[in-house]
Structure 1
Amino acid sequence: MFSRLVVHLGGIPRGDPGGGPAAMNATKSNLAGVVVLYHPEPSVVENIRSYADDVDFLFIVDNSETPDVGLISRLRETFPRAEYISHGANLGIAKALNTGAESALARGYGWLLTMDQDSKAGTRMVPHLAAYLREANPADIGILTPQQLDVTTPEVDAATEAEEVATTMTSGNLLNLAAFRRVGKFEESFFIDYVDHEYCLRLREQGYRILQVNRAVLHHHLGKMRQYRVLGKSMVASHHNYVRRYYITRNRWQVMQRYKARFPEFYRKELKEFWREFYRILLFEEDKLRKVRSIVKGYVHFRKQRFGKL
């Protein structure tokens, strides 16, 4: 069991209680946001500030075991149209996203901006996403995603206005809540890692598209990721800790198996990436033995269908 704390920071969420045609339009009045926290750095307030004014109401879902009273006070002072929800335990990224989506649906919103604590919206990221949606047919769009800038993609590529992508990470997306209602919740048994990829593939399986809008830019911090050059070739190692390696392995193989028949190209790409990451751990990363053991454990648990929090 967990104890849930809800603090209404101010403002009254509007949305479209009728959930009718207006719910398909990504106007500000029909757009809520959710940001997921877990022991955040003080910089999280500035990250949230980069997009808070572009949504009608913001749900701040905290997976930290103990609420930070000082942080709650700062959030109350800075974001008058927000609600702070503490789960009182780390229930995983999927549970937090589901809490945000269900809260937004209950208040009549049609679209949900999903953010993590380490991401900052580029200039007019949300308005660019919403503007594209008004020009397109929103009924078959499951997710609109921005172009994500990080160590692997440091520059914007805006050669095309928008392009269809196979999957995308959670942060920076506009999620169609009508699609969420139809295809179901994020996979809570995964806890963390591959929650986003699984959901994108599930949306596509149900006929929805995942579109990247290249004018919209998200600045994303990818933890300890570092770039190396070997024989003139650039290589990136993530330096995830051994616990993350367990979840990545277990959930990756589950998604690969679940969607292999429907999306064989995803299976092939992920299989190749699995071995690439394994070799890069051996070449570049510390704590190799524990990470390799975690990879083996994750694969064994996938085979035994053991999921949930480690």
Structure 2
Amino acid sequence: MAAVISAFHPPQDLPQRVRDLSKQVIHTVVVDDGSDLERNSSVLRELEDLGCTVIRMPGNVGIAAALNAGIEAAIESWSPDFVVTLDQDSALDPGYIAAALDTYTEARANGINAGLVSAQSHNGLNVPLLTKRARFPEAFDPLQSGAVIPVSTFKTAGMLDERLFIDCVDSEFNLRVRSHGLATLVGKGCNMTHALGHAQPMMLFGWHVTVLGVKRHVHSHAPFRVYYMTRNSIYLWRQYGARFPVWLIRRLRFQAESDVFRLLYGANRKGQYRAFIRGCLDGWLGRLGKIDAAFQRKISA
């Protein structure tokens, strides 16, 4: 088992998480996505001292390309049967890998070919499922972070789509895996902890919006992230709408709620509107890849 961690300006506590992770995996690859061009990161040096393979990308190439580089390096160096991919702010509970492999083995014994096994819960909260009645439940839209992936899945379904850069990379991979008849199972008892991101109060004329007695918050994203989320979501519809319409409609409901709240209450709403409109256009026209630098500066101003 090899772990591949994507990093960008890696946090100071990453080495400790890697030490904990080493109790569950044999090898660890950390891929820095262009944040250490001067090779002066003390965190990455500490990771190398711990025995990690550290790959420094020559520029910011996106999470898909970074993870692909780490996966390919792990396969070439150690020929593992499984790879677990992780974000730099994610941590697996003790026993996570063993439980994921147990789920995989049990499913195979019952005639289910699993393309990946992901977390059953994040920070103690169960993830949404495709259906609750299955003997071996599948996650609705599993994150790539915490996904235990057989190397055979990459040979069957291909690597992560680097053209998406960030956002929807895991969603696209999940649909592609399912397109090949492989299941996206949840590992029984597998819990992953990770950062929840920044959420700001949803304010309306100075009043903190309350729905059903609960004060609402909105997760704030930089405009360039809104661009990628919008563009890549439209790309998913273009690629998989005919085969997975129900899944995409269900996903659209979650996304639409986030988009409305963010565009009404988020920070830098002017930049977010521009990012949203450009994302819709580029997604419809099939323009993928990294966002244009001049446009990113414009929407971030």
TM-score (norm 1): 0.81
Runs of 4 or more consecutive aligned structure 1 residues displaced over 4 Å after TM superposition: 159-162, 226-229, 233-236
Q: 2:257 aligned with 1:284, yes or no?
A: no
1:269 corresponds to which of 232, 250, 253: 250
Q: Distance in 2 between matches of 1:305 and 1:61?
A: 28
**Which residue of structure 1 aligns with residue 205 of structure 2?**
none
Question: What does the per-residue CA deviation read over 1:9-48, in whole Å, with 9 as the maximum and x for residues that have no partner?
Answer: xxxxxxxxxxxxxxxxxxxxxx111000011221222232
1:249 corresponds to 2:230: yes
Contact 1:161 1:214 in 2 (8 A): no
104 and 76 in structure 1: CA distance in 2 versus 1, 3 angstrom threshold: closer
Out of 113, 122, 130, the position equivalent to 1:149 is: 122
Is 2:58 the counterpart of 1:84? no
Bigger Cα displacement from structure 2, 212-221 vs 187-196 = 212-221
Q: Which amino acid aligns with 2:277?
A: V
Alignment of 1:11-26 (within 5 A): none
Whole-Å separation in 2 of the counterparts to 1:42 and 1:177: 30
Q: In structure 2, do the counterparts of structure 1 residues 236 and 187 end up closer, same or farther at CA, with 3 Å as the change threshold?
A: farther
- Report what 1:296 is aligned to: 277
The answer as to whether partners of 1:256 and 1:270 remain within 8 angstroms in 2 is: no
Question: What is the rounded CA distance, in whole Å, between the counterparts of 2:108 and 2:40 in structure 1?
Answer: 42
Aligned to 2:87: 116
- Report if aligned partners of 2:199, 2:219 keep a CA contact under 8 Å in 1: yes
Instruction: Compute the displacement of 1:179 (Å).
Output: 1.2
Q: Which moved more, 1:121-130 or 1:169-178?
A: 121-130
Aligned-partner Cα distance in 2 for 1:156–1:183:
27
User: In the comparison of the two structures, how many residue pairs are matched?
Assistant: 274
Deviations 1:69-117 (A, max 9, x none): 412321133x33x211111211111111111221222231111010010
Q: Which residue does 2:155 correspond to in 1?
A: 181
Coordinate RMSD, CA, aligned: 2.2
Query: Which residue pairs with 1:212 in the alignment?
Result: 186
Counterpart CA distance in 2 for 1:263 and 1:123 is 35
Question: What secondary structure is seen at the aligned counterpart in 1 of 2:166?
Answer: coil
**Where does structure 1 lack aligned partners over 5 or more consecutive residues?**
1-30
Instruction: Structure 2 unaligned segments of length 5 or more: list them.
Output: 203-208, 292-301
Deviates more, 1:233-242 or 1:243-252: 233-242
Matches of 1:109 and 1:283 in 2, distance apart?
A: 47
State the distance in 1 between where 2:199 and 2:280 align. Answer: 23
Return the offset for 1:156: 5.3
Do the aligned partners of 1:51 and 1:126 also contact (CA within 8 Å) in 2?
Answer: no
Taking the aligned partners of 1:220 and 1:236, their CA distance within structure 2 comes to: 19
TM-score normalised by the chain length of structure 2: 0.84
**Which whole-Å CA distance do the structure 1 matches of 2:4 and 2:218 have between them?**
29
Describe the SS at the equivalent of 1:199: helix
Q: What is the deviation of 1:68?
A: 3.5
Q: Which residue of 2 aligns with 1:200?
A: 174
Q: Secondary structure of 1:192's match? A: coil
State the distance in 2 between where 1:113 and 1:173 align: 5
Is the CA contact (8 Å cut-off) linking 1:34 and 1:58 kept in structure 2? yes
Q: 2:199 & 2:122 partners in 1: Cα distance?
A: 13
1:72 pairs with 2:53 = no
